[in-house]
């Protein structure tokens, strides 16, 4: 039996991405997000336009997409309800958000220099993708507060610990444990379910 409901959110379970961007004064900002999907070396990010990350991406056109492992859940949760935007947008004040200028310090994470873009990578993240903004699309009309940001990945770094020992340039999916957000709750992935026919051809 199905019930018709009007869900407040539709976050069905996607990996968390920690985006580092550069503030106007040259310091880094760091924000967790999970509305991201991937297409070859492109990524589409669903972001609120009132956040510091959106402001920085619009101005600088550069970022690093850092993918945390499930073991990093405590660090990610420390960044929940924080913003690098000052003053804090009214709707976030009402939700109890806090202005935090040093997000790396708050999360207890380490910035390391990137090679092709100015924002730093997050040293502890097993996947670090340096990227540039190609396009910014409005979602829900010009006056809406949501955007889809088209990102092109220019350089990728993967921790050796998650790489396949047999096939170069491949991730060993038994070693990669992404942090998943499902309806605002944190999860890890379960075990491998079934041999994949698609994996055989790629």
Least spacing, CB of residue 47 vs ligand FMN, in Å:
4
Q: Which is nearer to ligand FMN, 24 or 172 (CB)?
A: 24
The Cα–Cα gap between 99 and 34 comes to 21
Residues 78/18, Cβ–Cβ less than 8 Å: no
Q: Which is nearer to ligand FMN, 85 or 121 (CB)?
A: 85
| Closest by CA position to 124, among listed 143, 148, 108 | 108
Query: Which residues face 25 on adjacent strands?
Result: none
Q: Which is nearer to ligand FMN, 79 or 162 (CB)?
A: 79
What is the helix (H) or strand (E) element at residue 199, kind and residue range?
A: helix 197-201
Residue ranges binding ligand FMN (CB under 6 A): 16, 29, 31-35, 46-48, 51-53, 76, 80, 83-85, 97, 181
Least spacing, CB of residue 176 vs ligand FMN, in Å:
18
Least spacing, CB of residue 76 vs ligand FMN, in Å:
6
Q: Which is nearer to ligand FMN, 47 or 162 (CB)?
A: 47
Least spacing, CB of residue 115 vs ligand FMN, in Å:
23
Outline where DSSP puts E strands in the chain.
14-15, 17-22, 28-33, 36-39, 42-48, 62-67, 82-83, 98-99, 111-112, 121-122, 127-139, 146-158, 180-182, 185-187
């Amino acid at each position: 039996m199905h019930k018709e409901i009007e869900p407040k959110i539709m976050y069905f379970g996607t990996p968390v991405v920690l985006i580092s961007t550069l503030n106007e004064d040259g310091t880094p900002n760091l924000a967790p997000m999970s509305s991201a999907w991937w297409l070859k070396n492109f990524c589409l990010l669903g972001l609120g336009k009132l956040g510091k990350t959106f402001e920085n991406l619009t101005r600088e056109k550069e970022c690093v997409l850092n993918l945390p492992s499930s073991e990093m859940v405590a660090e990610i949760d420390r960044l929940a309800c924080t913003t690098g935007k000052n003053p804090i947008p009214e709707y976030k004040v009402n939700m109890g958000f806090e202005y935090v200028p040093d997000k790396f310090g708050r999360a207890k994470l380490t910035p390391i220099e990137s090679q092709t873009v100015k924002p730093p990578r997050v040293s502890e993240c097993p996947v670090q993708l340096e990227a540039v903004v190609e396009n910014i699309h409005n979602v829900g009309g010009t006056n809406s507060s949501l955007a889809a940001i088209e990102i092109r990945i220019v350089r990728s770094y993967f921790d050796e610990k998650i790489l396949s020992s047999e096939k170069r340039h491949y991730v060993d999916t038994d070693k990669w444990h992404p942090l998943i957000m499902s309806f605002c709750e944190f999860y890890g992935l379960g075990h491998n379910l079934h041999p994949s026919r698609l994996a055989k051809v790629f």
